[in-house]
């Protein structure tokens, strides 16, 4: 099932999420639906709050579905270390059409559980490191625009408000 993606302005995106405790069939279904939703939107990552579910869960695939081996499920992820810095354009499915140069660590190690509850630790660089940060931010109620300059952020907020008024958001 493809979920509608929740856009910026919805309170679920700015809330701390609840931990995943039940690694059952419902979670499996949700994970499958999140991948389907992410691929349909051509995204490389999707967090549960973006489908309206306030749960500490995200999916990532930096190949956008080209290579099934790169599919990642992160339940209860925590960033345990980061190194370096890269500034690159970043976007978010909840803020469609806004892409802004955003500084992120170059290398990130994350600890999480997979869809069956098994704990793992994984390191990533470049786009994967960026995705780890972007998605774990979502689970803590944060959006990427909190990492950009205030003026740029205010300009995006203004444009969104305008679109909301016009019924285009
Ligand atoms: Zn996002």
Residues 135-150 pLDDT 10s: 999 999 999 999 999 9
Mean pLDDT of the region 56-85: 95
Answer yes or no: is pLDDT of 76 > 90. Answer: yes
Residue 65 pLDDT exceeds 90: no
Listed residues: CB within 5 A of ion ligand 1 = 92
At the topology level of CATH, where does 11-165 sit? Answer: Peptide Deformylase (3.90.45)
Q: Is pLDDT at 83 greater than 90 in this prediction?
A: yes
Q: Report the separation in Å between the CA atom of 92 and the middle of ligand 1, taken as the mean of its atom positions.
A: 4
Q: Residue 4, SS3?
A: coil
Dihedral of the CA atoms 131, 136, 138, 144 (nearest 10)?
Answer: -50
Q: What is the whole-number distance in angstroms between the Cα of residue 145 and the centre of ligand 1?
A: 10
Let me know: does 56 contact 73? Beta carbons within 8 Å: no
Please say if 14 is a catalytic residue.
no
Which residue is catalytic, options 36, 90, 135, 154? 135
Q: What average pLDDT score do residues 34-61 get?
A: 97
| Cβ atoms of residues 60 and 77 within 8 Å | no
Asked if pLDDT for residue 68 goes beyond 90, the answer is: no
Burial of 151 (0-12, 13-18, 19+ CB in 10 A): exposed
pTM score, two decimals? 0.97
Mean pLDDT of 106-115: 98
pLDDT, residue 23, reads: 98
| Predicted confidence (pLDDT) at residue 36 exceeds the cutoff of 90 | yes
**Average pLDDT of the residues in 71-83:** 98
CA of 23 to the centre of ligand 1 (A): 24
Q: For residue 149, what pLDDT is reported?
A: 94
Burial bucket for residue 101 (CB in 10 Å: 0-12, 13-18, 19+): exposed
Q: What is the 18 CA–ligand 1 centroid distance (Å)?
A: 18
Give residue 46 CA to ligand 1 midpoint distance, Å.
Answer: 7
What does the domain layout of the chain look like in residue ranges?
Answer: 11-165
């Amino acid at each position: 099932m493809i979920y509608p993606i929740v856009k910026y302005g919805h309170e679920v995106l700015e809330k701390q999420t609840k931990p995943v405790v039940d690694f059952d069939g419902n979670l499996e279904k949700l994970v499958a639906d999140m991948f389907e939703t992410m691929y349909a939107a051509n995204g490389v990552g999707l967090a549960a709050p973006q489908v309206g579910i306030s749960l500490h869960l995200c999916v990532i695939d930096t190949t956008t579905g080209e290579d099934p081996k790169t599919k990642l499920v992160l339940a209860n992820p925590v960033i345990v270390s980061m190194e370096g810095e890269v500034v690159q354009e970043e976007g978010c499915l909840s803020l469609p059409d806004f892409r802004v140069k955003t500084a992120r660590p170059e290398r990130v190690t994350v600890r999480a559980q997979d869809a069956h509850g098994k704990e793992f630790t994984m390191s990533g660089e470049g786009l994967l490191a960026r995705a780890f940060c972007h998605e774990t931010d979502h689970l803590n109620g944060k959006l990427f625009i909190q990492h950009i300059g205030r003026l740029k952020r205010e300009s995006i907020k203004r444009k969104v408000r305008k679109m909301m008024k016009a019924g285009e958001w």
